[in-house]
Amino acid sequence: MPSSPNVIRHKAAVDRPRRETLNGHRSINLWFTGLSGSGKSTLAHAVEEQLHLMGCRTYVFDGDNVRHGLCRDLGFSAPERTENLRRIAEMVRLFLDAGVISLTAFISPLESDRAMVKEIIGPENIIEVFCNCPLEICEQRDVKGLYKKARAGEIPNYTGISAPYERPLSPDIDIDTGTLPLRECVNRVVSVLRERWVILK
């Protein structure tokens, strides 16, 4: 998408490296993808809680929450879902510049959309976390009853039922959120952050 005309980016004196130094950790994005009910939001918030206790500056972008504000004008057609993710990716860029560890929990079912996100954020700035959970377990966890409505034809284009979910080709972290305990999943993500020198604690 072309930049707005007659707009020049301002270079701030306080930049990302200075903010990261003040925070005591690098900024990064953890992009949680998976079917509805796969545990994306649960894991993202649990990882944030652990990082917060470790003194890290964090923020979770949750798929449902952003549609109450930033993306409330968008529906669920394919183009609108793409625009939803584009907006989130642009927000993540700002949080990276602020030195914050951002955690984004979105189904993001298409590989092309996830590729767009990585291009906007920068592949060096994103850790893709695939919440790998079988559809049948996701349906068992369906407290909102959305899968039931989708199977009854009441919700069109529902990911996993009437719309595809394209598994990540090579996620940075592939977690079996269907059977592994939440604490073990959290430890796995935090371990990768240590391995990549995002956090030093």
* Digit-coded pLDDT (tens) for 60-74: 998 667 666 777 777
pLDDT of residue 6: 62
pLDDT of residue 65: 72
pLDDT of residue 8: 64
Helix or strand run (H / E) with residue 109: none
pLDDT of residue 70: 72
pLDDT of residue 161: 92
Above 70 in pLDDT, residue 127? yes
pLDDT of residue 63: 66
> For the whole model, what pTM was predicted?
0.90
Active site residue 4: no
pLDDT of residue 84: 85
Strand partners, 32: 105, 129
The residue among 101, 70, 100 whose CA lies nearest residue 83 is 70
Average pLDDT over residues 94-110: 95
Average pLDDT over residues 37-59: 96
Q: Are 133 and 178 in contact (CB under 8 A)?
A: yes
Above 80 in pLDDT, residue 132? yes
Tell which phi-psi region holds residue 101, choosing left (phi > 0), alpha (psi between -120 and 50) or beta. beta
Q: Is 128 helix (H, G, I), strand (E, B) or coil?
A: strand
- Quick one: tokens of 24? 């005591």
Residue with tokens 């270079």: 11
Q: Which residues contact 198 (CB under 8 A, 6 or more apart)?
A: 25, 26, 28, 101
Compute the C-alpha angle 102/108/113, nearest 5°. 100
Provide the 8-state DSSP code for 33: E
Helix or strand run (H / E) with residue 147: helix 146-151
pLDDT category at 104 given cuts 50, 70, 90 is very high
Above 90 in pLDDT, residue 2? no
pLDDT of residue 4: 63
CB neighbour burial string for 55-68, b if at least 16 within 10 angstroms, e if fewer: ebbbebbbbeebee
pLDDT of residue 10: 67
Rounded distance, CA 187 to CA 192, Å?
Answer: 9
Q: Number of helices and strands (H, E) in the chain? A: 8, 5
Q: Are 91 and 134 in contact (CB under 8 A)?
A: no
pLDDT of residue 157: 85
For 16-195, CATH gives 3.40.50.300
Residue type, 3: S
The residue among 170, 145, 132 whose CA lies nearest residue 35 is 132
Above 90 in pLDDT, residue 76? no
**pLDDT tens-digit profile of 157-195?**
899 998 999 999 999 999 999 999 999 999 999 999 999
Choose the catalytic residue: 27, 41, 102, 108: 108
